[in-house]
Chain A
Amino acid sequence: MSVVQLESVGKSFMRRDGEQLEVLRNIDLDVPERSIVALVGASGCGKSTLLNIVAGLIPPDQGTVFLNGQKSSAFKDWRTMTYMFQEDRLFPWRTTAQNVALGLEAAGMPRKERRDRVMQVLELVGLEKFADSFPHELSGGMRSRAALGRSLVTEPSILLMDEPFSKLDPSIRTQMHDEVLRIAGLRQMSVLFVTHDVEEAVVLANKIVVLMPRPGRVKETREIALPYPRNPLSPEVAEEVRLLRLSL
């Protein structure tokens, strides 16, 4: 079954001067269970808008979004989906543990149960020693781990990510890729993520959807069948990256 399925989704925005700007046209997309799907494309191809439509933050103008086989307009289980943004968006007045607990608080979980779940997740992302640190005391990589932890604590079946590691140093980015792969496998979670980093897409995804800009359309869908872990320096990965670059 597909966790996320889009059928001919379209979206336009009204510009300030009153003109309609078509951002997405006729998008078909399929995220199968336990898969990792990457959306790549030049800027202005509506990647983030597409993710926001999947997350239910904005409605599509045309087409239908299915989540776990249900129409998204009738979907209730929004807490099975979490969204990780480009910025970590940690609240500066909360400790790591408190930041991670946010999703559980939103769901109204009692404090005692929350604490166990939070500690579990902090161990999962390797931040158990920094539970009581404030965001300004953490490094960029640790902040990213905290944001990942916050997205995992509600045990989602699908994780959406909008260029979550683009601001990190390359070595830390590679570490975060390993973490995502490990946790996605462990938690049997599907991932749909947006990136402009072609290598990131090839290292992580089993399926890459290439978008064309103005308006955003699907140009091509590539399946990446290489075994994990994928070394960016290996010839097979390098070849996929090269082919993808040509496609862009």
Chain B
Amino acid sequence: MKRSPLQMTQDRRLRLIGLRLLLIIIVVGLWGIGSLGAPAFILPSPRRVFGVWTQLVVTPGFWADFGITFYRIAMGFIFATVVGVVLGLLLGASRTLGDFFQPLLVVINTVSSSIWAIFALIWFGLSNWSTIFVVFMTAMPLILTNVWQGTSTVNRDFIELAQTFRMSRLQVLLKIYLPTILPQFFAGARLAFGFGARVSIVAEALGASSGIGYRLRQAADLVQTDQVFAWTLTLVILMIFIEAVLLKPLETHLFAWRKPRPA
């Protein structure tokens, strides 16, 4: 029997969901088997972690820590986006500026995020700004580099067309540059958000008195391994949620104009 294209995409989606479920079952299964032969402070069982997690979620402190971590990641990311896009466009627009600042970008990229976390601790102490700074320093170069590379893909023919319409510089920026770099920006921003979220935990573990990273270190210090697992589970769920509910639909919406790729 012939299948319509719509049915075929549905089939493919069902198959994918099935595979994902299978993967989860295998991983949790292996984890469960492994936990049988190890003490709970080394590897707690999935059942135990889930139990701790359900208790954790109902404590009021959980949402406070969750919220403050999310706030720090979001702030760092927003600053990184604004600065990265503006600088990326500037460096892309002027060759001299680009050549001048390029080495600086290489240096920033070679400095590890944990070093930024140590600097943050020295400069900002135990405050929100420590974590925000580390997220910013990690995410900003990624966004900047992508936007900068994106500017080089701007079609010269479109610029010439804009000249025949006597479009202003601002119009060219908004109507040609911005849409052109959007896919690259999006790729960079997604990467930056992922990295930023991960280093925020390191930063919080080193230099904060609240947040998921702080709780993780506290749990580790007290050898509450099941708590460490529960917080990790929370983070994983948060990242999957952001990807599936925020980024993926946004991407689909923004890039509806793209030619669908042949399967």
Contact = CB atoms under 8 A, between A and B. Distances in A.
Interface of A: 55, 57, 78-79, 82-83, 85, 87, 89, 91-95, 102-103, 105-107, 134, 136, 154
Contacts of A136: 257, 259
Contacts of A91: 158, 175-176, 179
A154 B164 CA distance: 12
A94 B165 contact: no
Contacts of A85: 157, 160-161
Contacts of B258: 92
B161 A94 contact: no
Given A106-B162, A154-B165, 7 more contacts: A57-B160, A79-B165, A85-B157, A91-B179, A92-B258, A106-B165, A136-B257
Interface string B111-153: 0000000000000000000000000000000000000000000
Interface in B173-201: 175-176, 179, 182
A134 B257 contact: yes
A89 B162 CA distance: 10
Contacts of A103: 165
B256 to A, nearest CB: 8
Given A93-B179, A105-B175, A55 B164 contact: yes
B180 to A, nearest CB: 8
B226 to A, nearest CB: 49
A91 B158 CA distance: 8
A93 B174 CA distance: 13
B47 interface: no
Contacts of A93: 179, 182, 257
A57 B164 contact: yes
Interface of B: 155, 157-158, 160-168, 171, 175-176, 179, 182, 256-259
Q: Is the interface of A mostly helix, strand, loop or mixed?
A: loop
A151 B166 CA distance: 13
Nearest to B255: A93
Contact of A78 (B158, B162, B166, B182): B166
A89 B171 contact: no
Nearest to A154: B165
Contacts of B165: 79, 82, 102-103, 106-107, 154
Contacts of A55: 164
A117 to B, nearest CB: 15
Given A85-B157, A91-B179, A106 B257 contact: no
Contact of B158 (A89, A105, A107, A134): A89
A94 B176 CA distance: 11
Contacts of A94: 179, 257
A93 B176 CA distance: 10
A55 to B, nearest CB: 6
B161 A89 contact: yes
26 contacts: A57-B163, A78-B166, A82-B164, A85-B157, A85-B160, A89-B155, A89-B157, A89-B158, A89-B161, A91-B158, A91-B175, A91-B176, A91-B179, A92-B257, A92-B258, A92-B259, A93-B179, A93-B257, A95-B257, A102-B165, A105-B171, A106-B171, A107-B165, A134-B257, A136-B259, A154-B165
A83 B179 contact: no
Nearest to A147: B161
Nearest to B155: A89
Contacts of B259: 92, 136
Contacts of B160: 57, 85
Contacts of A87: 157
A109 B171 CA distance: 13
Interface centre among A93, A102, A105 (most CB of B within 10 A): A93
A87 B176 CA distance: 17
A55 B164 CA distance: 7
A86 to B, nearest CB: 10
B178 to A, nearest CB: 10
Nearest to A134: B257
Given A93-B179, A93-B257, A106 B158 contact: no
A95 B160 CA distance: 20
B198 to A, nearest CB: 32
Contacts of B175: 91, 102, 105
